[in-house]
A and B are shown apart, each in its own frame.
Chain A
Amino acid sequence: MRKMFLLAAKDLRSEARAKEIAPPMVLFGLILVFLFTLNFPPGAGQAPVPGPVVGAVGSRELAGAFLWVSLLFAGILGFGRNASTEREGNRIEGLLLAPVDPAALFAGKALANFCYLWTLEAVLLPVFVLFFGVPAGLLLPGILLVALVANVGLAAAGTLFGAASQYVRARELVMPLLLFPVIIPLVLGAERLTSSLLTGGGLGSQSRWFILMGAFDLAIVAIGAVAFEFIVNE
């Protein structure tokens, strides 16, 4: 447990000096949120929610999906970079020689990714509220709970598949191809919950999505902790 925090602290400290993961990630996320919100008519965020018409999707419902797609695309940049720093100069071999369990290595990396996601969200969420013009009171504090549940699974999946894609040719291409299909339950859940918040539905009626996302988190953390040694060990 302590080793996990040490390893994560090592990642974050080197990032604090190099500043090569979080700034590009946040900037890319900003560009995406800007591009997505640009497509809505002005004032779409304040517009009343449309009634229950089949096939009609309100701007606010769509906005929740766009927010998560932006976060995901920006997040994957960070996951890939965080994994590839260990490959450069074979730093991973030094880590493997240290008396550290591969599971702790996985947890440490995932914790660092988890922190990057929060950094990303700390910037993107206010900007989203600003650009889209949606009342911030609708999102807070529920969105923090949604982000917490989503970030655990995203960080763990990003760590596992980020490490896996280090050992193939064309790794920048392979990682999203492996990652995106498997995290669909998580992304759909986060989108649905955020849309529910944005349309004033709250989270109470949507608790089953939390169960689903929690199940995903458990599965990916457990498999990641057990399987990480098969990926990084020689």
Chain B
Amino acid sequence: MSPLTTARRSGTGTMVLIALVAVGMVVGIAAIFFWVPTANCLVPGVADGQPCFDARPDYIQHIFYMHVPIAYVAYLAFGVVLVGSLAYLKTGRRRWDILAHASAEIGVLFTGLCLLTGMLWGRPRWGTFWTWDETLTLTFVLFLIYVGYLLFRGLAADPTRGARIAAVIGIFGFVDVPLVHFSMVWWRTLHPAEVVINPAGPQLPASELITMLFLLVVYTGLYVALMLLRTRLGRAEEALAEAEAALEERPPPRAHVAATP
């Protein structure tokens, strides 16, 4: 099979995945707006069906069906950066580096979205867009670490060494996360407790749980689709750089005498 056919075939698979994700997104959004009950508080300790802090229905809470999967994709992406970085340092294979780089970009994007959706919820619920809560601060630090990682990759003078150093940064960035987490927890915290992963079993009604899990799957699909596109772009960039390098090494072609009229 020629490389072109392989590329085309993997392209078809990606398109199918993107289509599935698009349909899933529409279904998920419909479920968020029309199926999941409103006026049901996610804050622990508030009885089922009771409003959170005021008498109005808690429409704002619906943003969690987007916020939670986005946050999960961000963590997943940074986990993949760790795996890709370790594998690249061990094997020296370029594709691991391309994987880590792609995943870091998607991770930064989703961390940014996670901060944004969190702020949109925080403003009406906490009365402020931003507060120095531990989870918020941790997410922001993660954002900074991986923006630094991407910045480093963009400025590296030598691509091979740059990739190796970026891998070291990617690994340490991830190892640092639990440490930053504890330093934030001991500072102070305000973030709602986890209600899905809970020792006493999920604390959500069925429709909410199904919607949440469904969107987690959809977002995982979105992540995979973005990764497929981005790694393909990375390989293409690499092939282009190689071709350019080969072109420079070749002696310049003899100038043909072009008869200009």
Q: B180 is contacted by which of A165, A170, A184 (Cβ under 8 Å)? A: A184
Within 8 A of A (CB), among B130-177: 141, 144-145, 148-149, 151-152, 155-158, 161-162, 164-165, 167-169, 171-173, 175-176
The answer to whether B183 and A167 have CB atoms under 8 Å apart is: no
Q: Is B182's CB within 8 Å of the partner chain A?
A: yes
Q: Size range of the interface on A? A: 20 to 34
The answer to whether A181 and B145 have CB atoms under 8 Å apart is: yes
Q: Size range of the interface on B? A: 20 to 34
Q: In the complex, which residues of chain A have a beta carbon less than 8 angstroms from the beta carbon of B186?
A: 192, 208-209, 212
Q: Is B89's CB within 8 Å of the partner chain A?
A: yes
Q: In the complex, which residues of chain A have a beta carbon less than 8 angstroms from the beta carbon of B229?
A: none
Q: In the complex, which residues of chain A have a beta carbon less than 8 angstroms from the beta carbon of B164?
A: 230-231
Q: Which residue of A lies closest to B173 (CB)?
A: A182
Query: B24 CB to closest chain A CB, in angstroms?
Result: 34
Q: B179 is contacted by which of A178, A192, A208, A215 (Cβ under 8 Å)? A: A215
Contact indicator per residue, chain A 162-198, by CB within 8 Å of chain B (1) or not (0):
0011011110001001101110110011001000000
A-B Cβ contacts below 8 A, count? 85
Q: Which residue of B lies closest to A187 (CB)?
A: B183
The answer to whether B169 and A230 have CB atoms under 8 Å apart is: no
CA distance A215 to B181 in the complex (A): 13
Q: In the complex, which residues of chain A have a beta carbon less than 8 angstroms from the beta carbon of B34?
A: none
The answer to whether A227 and B168 have CB atoms under 8 Å apart is: yes
26 intermolecular pairs with C-beta atoms under 8 Å apart = A160-B168, A164-B152, A164-B168, A165-B152, A167-B157, A168-B152, A168-B162, A169-B155, A181-B148, A182-B145, A182-B173, A184-B141, A185-B182, A185-B183, A189-B183, A209-B186, A212-B182, A212-B183, A212-B186, A215-B179, A216-B176, A219-B179, A223-B168, A230-B168, A231-B168, A234-B161
The answer to whether B187 and A181 have CB atoms under 8 Å apart is: no
